[in-house]
Amino acid sequence: MSAIIGSRARGRPRTRHRLPPAPVAPARASRYPAGMDTHITDCIVIGAGIAGATAAAHLSAERRVVLIEAEEAAGVHTSGRSAALWVANGGPEYERTLAQESFAFLNTPPPGFAATPILTERPVAFAVPPEQLADLHEILASRSNIREISVAALRAMIPAIRPGYAVAAALETGNFDIDVDVLLQGYLRLARSHGATVAFRRRSHCIAHQDGHWRVETVSGASFHAPVLVNAAGAWGDEVAVQAGLRPLGLTPKRRTAVVIDPAPFEVASWPRLYDPRRSWYCKPEARARLMISPADATPTHAQDVQPEEIDIAITIERMQQVLDIPVRRVERAWAGLRTFTPDGAFAFGEAIEANRFFWFVGQGGDGILTSAAAGRLLADLVAGRAPDWLPGAARILPAIDPRRFAAA
Ligand SMILES: Cc1cc2nc3c(=O)[nH]c(=O)nc-3n(C[C@H](O)[C@H](O)[C@H](O)COP(=O)(O)OP(=O)(O)OC[C@H]3O[C@@H](n4cnc5c(N)ncnc54)[C@H](O)[C@@H]3O)c2cc1C
């Protein structure tokens, strides 16, 4: 095998089950243009966001893995642009379960995974205007870790709350900030310590299935061969499927905006996150005593290096100022990211409708970070054909996220 690009692991060897060696390169390389950089392995993962990184970390415990990424670094797209929240109470059963099952890993990662904590507790406060009282009561009735507090108590925590805005308030505990970069680098380090290779600047553009092997050719002229292909390309998931001649799922990337301001004269470091019950906006303390605000927008778009729109930045500030009396002299930073959804909004984890050992690992929407640890473990089980005995409710969850549910569409 020719030398592999990128940051090949020099991690210590581990005792682990390895698959039999793949066919040797020279015989196959001769089928491709002379000079093509050819690599043969057990599994190719496309996309080094949080999904591809956790996939590589888990899959590489039992097979040789190459993770290829179009950009110069991991997490350049959605995974580097999130709000970084671990929530206790979100969404449908599959999402809550994957979040809960991820918690132990994120809270107590394996030795050597991270030098600093991944999770930091941060409660969520709700400021409730009159027209959202019914929404608050619904939330209070459906969750155990939330309690109503007085508006005065809310203002004691967040003195910037405008007098007269909130008629009720609540505080939810058991939520955490996630250090996404530490988590992402931890997955990559774990993958490398298992012998996986991470190859940056390798954008797939042509994928073929031949003799039981996937052949992924990249724009830069490298060629990767493996019997298993994992599509963790986020917003580009359908594009990768089309490259492989498979049916796209109908993914929709949705733009979400984030704006960072200097909240002076307020000191926000100890503030909880602040939402309204309808989640029409939120804010949270950001590094260096700044405040991150999002209008919780979800504008359908296409896969791209998405940028924030001026109008969304203006809406963000306006929505925040209805609730908080904070002067905004200038926006320090703004970004947008793509939250990508399947047609029914649920994740798509598992083998493609066309089979052939092409695995979808996409559609994580707004929850890909907080569910990532269990999601990677689940994907490794699906690739190995193992029942995920550790996953409560697996018999209900697997059909809900199986990409083959779109077969009839
Ligand atoms: C504003 C915002 C707030 C969010 N808040 C939260 C939150 O609080 N908690 C939470 O859990 N989640 C949150 N999310 C969602 C979370 O960020 C995503 O679910 C997650 O990052 C998706 O990860 P991914 O790896 O699938 O996608 P990405 O990070 O986009 O990774 C896909 C990668 O594939 C690469 N790629 C694409 N095509 C190719 C190709 N042909 N060849 C090689 N590489 C390719 C791309 O370059 C990219 O690096 C938020 C998202 C946004 C935008």
- Check which CATH number belongs to the domain holding 307 and give it: 3.30.9.10
Which pLDDT score is estimated for 409?
Answer: 65
Are residues 394 and 383 part of one domain?
A: yes
292 within a domain of the structure (yes/no): yes
Closest of 99, 101, 97, 117 to residue 109, by C-alpha: 117
Which pLDDT score is estimated for 288?
Answer: 81
Which pLDDT score is estimated for 35?
Answer: 56
Measure the N-to-C terminal CA separation of the chain; round to a whole number of Å. Answer: 41
For ligand 1, atom 51, which residue shows the shortest CA distance? 82
Q: Among residues 341, 371, 394, which one ends one of the domains?
A: 341
Pocket of ligand 1 (CB under 6 A): 46-52, 68-71, 75-79, 81-85, 203-204, 232-236, 240, 256, 258, 294, 337, 339, 364-370
Burial of 266 (0-12, 13-18, 19+ CB in 10 A): middle
158 within a domain of the structure (yes/no): yes
Supply the DSSP string of 279-327, one letter for each residue.
Answer: -S-EEEEETTTEEEEE----EE--SS-----HHHHHHHHHHHHHHB---
Which pLDDT score is estimated for 31?
Answer: 44
Which pLDDT score is estimated for 197?
Answer: 97
Are residues 298 and 334 part of one domain?
A: yes
Closest of 233, 282, 238, 288 to residue 256, by C-alpha: 282
Burial of 27 (0-12, 13-18, 19+ CB in 10 A): exposed
101 within a domain of the structure (yes/no): no
Are residues 332 and 269 part of one domain?
A: yes
Q: Give the residue numbers spanning the domain of 151.
A: 124-173+252-341
Are residues 307 and 196 part of one domain?
A: no
Ligand 1: residue of 44, 68, 82, 301 to mutate (most ligand atoms within 8 A of CB) is: 82
Which pLDDT score is estimated for 30?
Answer: 36
308 within a domain of the structure (yes/no): yes
Q: Render each residue's pLDDT in the chain as its tens digit; 409 residues.
A: 333 333 333 333 333 333 333 333 333 333 445 556 889 999 999 999 999 999 999 999 999 999 999 999 999 999 999 999 998 777 899 999 999 999 999 999 999 999 999 999 999 999 999 999 999 999 999 988 999 999 999 999 999 999 999 999 999 999 999 999 999 999 999 999 999 999 999 999 999 999 999 999 999 999 999 999 999 999 999 999 999 999 999 999 999 999 999 999 999 999 999 999 999 999 999 988 999 999 999 999 999 999 999 999 999 999 999 999 999 999 999 999 999 999 999 999 999 999 899 999 999 999 999 999 999 999 999 999 999 999 999 999 999 999 999 987 6
Which pLDDT score is estimated for 128?
Answer: 98
Which pLDDT score is estimated for 36?
Answer: 66
Q: How far is the CA of 338 from the centre of ligand 1 (A)?
A: 7
370 within a domain of the structure (yes/no): yes
Are residues 190 and 131 part of one domain?
A: no
Instruction: Report the CATH number at residue 224.
Output: 3.50.50.60
- Domain count along the chain: 2
